[in-house]
Amino acid sequence: MTIYLINNTHTYNDKTNELKNIKTGRSIKIAAMRIKCLEYMLNHAQQEIIYKKQLTNELWGERSQFISDANLTQILYLLRRDLKGFWPEPVFFHSASNWY
């Protein structure tokens, strides 16, 4: 089990898939594929850019060659929706044509 500290305002517990606001104690659980995406971004946060191909390979493994951009876009949309209103900033991550 790993508990990540994010911006000194939130924690993420990878065993329970729970994101918690330290100040308010409010927490949310996030669905499996979205969590896998969030974990990858947390573990690679030091990178300036996370490329679509990297993220797609991590989420779908060998099947990634058959996955369209729309699948990844949907996962990111749902993750943003989960975090909306829970996160202090309006946008948690930015996207461009080939990176996130």
Could you please report the per-residue DSSP string of the chain? --EEEETTTEEEETTTTEEEETTT--EEE--HHHHHHHHHHHHTTTSS--BHHHHHHHHHGGGGGG--HHHHHHHHHHHHHHHTTTSSSS-S----SSB-
9-34 tens-digit pLDDT: 889 898 999 999 999 999 999 999 99
- 11 occurs within a structural domain: no
Q: Has residue 59 been placed in a domain?
A: yes
pLDDT number for residue 99: 52
Q: Is residue 39 part of a domain?
A: yes
Whether residue 97 lies inside any domain: the answer is no
100 in any annotated domain: no
Digit-coded pLDDT (tens) for 46-68: 887 888 899 999 999 999 999 99
Residue ranges making up the domain that contains 52? 31-83
Q: Given this model, what pLDDT does residue 91 score? A: 47
Long-range contacts of 53-57 (CB under 8 A, 24+ apart): 55/100
Number of domains in the chain: 1
The whole-number average pLDDT for the span 74-100 is 72
